[in-house]
Amino acid sequence: MAEESYLTDDFLRQLVNVGEVDILVGLPTHNNAQTIGSIVQTIQSGILRGFPRERAVIINADGGSRDGTRELVTGVSIDDVRPASNLHALRTLHSISTEYPNSPSSGAALRTILAAAELLRAKACAVLSPNSANIEREWISKLLSPIYRDGFDLVTPTYRRHKFEGLLITNLVYPMTRALYGLRIREAYSPEFGFSGRLGSQFLGQHAWNDGTEGAGVELRFTLAAITGRNLICQSFLGEKMHVERHAADLVPALRETVGALFSALEPDFPVWSAVTHSQSLPTTGADHEVILEPLRVNRKRLREMFSSGVAELESVFQSILSLSTLAELKRIAALGEEEFHYPPELWVRTVYEFAASYRKSVISRDHIIQALAPLFRGRAFTFLVENRNASEDEVENNIEGLCLEFERLKPYLLQLWESRE
């Protein structure tokens, strides 16, 4: 119960007033005043619809908003929701808010939510992102029902995405977690997920919150912790995912959050993933994926150029990270023209695995290793875009499945690299 000192007195007082709950919805925010009001209303509506009898609370963990986000969260009344939705609340539905210390971070926000969930002895919890522009009230049931009613410990979402959206997920996070940890979790790194109070407490107690990563990729770490803890996991289809705003040039931070989190988990999780020999699918409510095929303008040329220049500029770095053959192959394709350029799955998987092994060995600064992956990922992204330019939904899925199988096929190579250090 050391978390108590981490929480402010005012927040603890609010928690005392809420008391034990069945359902908890966590909402990490930072300057989300534009959308937060309607999101809280949607959540309230979802709770009333899906869990009319249960004791419920919405917990807002705020990273120091200066635009009145917190006031909006606590100011939304259930009566604002009720007339339009024809819903009636049997119980008091609390919305409480706290500001966690230090700068905005998803790790600190999740830690606050988990601590609250533990203190309130919440049975089923969900976290939603205020950056999702189209949260629907059905999401509440979709994320919480499998926990509350069916005994699952973690519900990860699946979305309807554009075929070129989430390339880091489709080309690295999904296939690599699937190959290593053995579960075909489409969105292991998502700001929306549901979890049991038990899993929340487990993670709260075991996770190294002060490891210097500022909580980067904590959602992925949470998923991996659920897997290694042998918790019951399922997926739930939430529909289309729309973002409030998009940041175009945030690949390196994204790599830190995803690949950094994944690579850093590999060492402690070695006993688990090294024993996994194949992957299996998960119970899934609704589709396990859906693809939008509308044409999309992407500056592919720029991606390839950044790949080629990156390979040239970072050659000395790559010499520390990659095998001679892999580096040679990369240099070869970097010299190809746009029409001939192709970053094949096998080479990509070898690249990623060699990066993972080097990360473990800390051949150079770990953060530099992650940064060095950025140009190579752009090359792989270029190939994915070209391959799937005119692909149907099934063809896109087949290509992703092919990459996954390549990650699984080459897993012994990673084990070999891993064990070579021993």
Min separation Cβ 79 and other proteins, Å = 10
Which residue ranges make up the site for other proteins (CB under 8 A)? 13-14, 16-17, 19-20, 52-53, 55, 88-92, 94
Tokens of 355: 């990066």
20/211 with CB nearer other proteins: 20
For 75, 103, 126, the CA distances from 55, given in Å and listed in that order, are 19, 31, 14
Is 279:182 a contact under the CB 8 Å cutoff? yes
Min separation Cβ 101 and other proteins, Å = 23
Min separation Cβ 360 and other proteins, Å = 49
19/283 with CB nearer other proteins: 19
DSSP 256-325: IIIIIHHHHHHTTTHHHHTT--S-B---EES-S-EEE-------HHHHHHHHHHHHHHTHHHHHHHS-HH
91/361 with CB nearer other proteins: 91
How far apart CA 384 and CA 154 sit, in angstroms, is: 30
48/262 with CB nearer other proteins: 48
Residue 193: CB partners within 8 Å, gap ≥ 6? Answer: 126, 127, 143, 154, 155, 156, 157, 219, 222, 223
44/236 with CB nearer other proteins: 44
Min separation Cβ 8 and other proteins, Å = 15
CA 112 to chain centre: 18
Is 267:414 a contact under the CB 8 Å cutoff? no
Min separation Cβ 44 and other proteins, Å = 14
Residue 379: CB partners within 8 Å, gap ≥ 6? Answer: 303, 304, 307, 308, 310, 311, 330, 333, 334, 341, 343
Which residues share a beta bridge with 98? 61
For 56, 211, 319, 342, 353, the CA distances from 311, given in Å and listed in that order, are 53, 31, 11, 14, 17
Residue entry with tokens 């107690």:
205
Min separation Cβ 97 and other proteins, Å = 13
How far apart CA 339 and CA 300 sit, in angstroms, is: 11
Min separation Cβ 14 and other proteins, Å = 7
48/109 with CB nearer other proteins: 48
91/331 with CB nearer other proteins: 91
Min separation Cβ 145 and other proteins, Å = 18
89/317 with CB nearer other proteins: 89
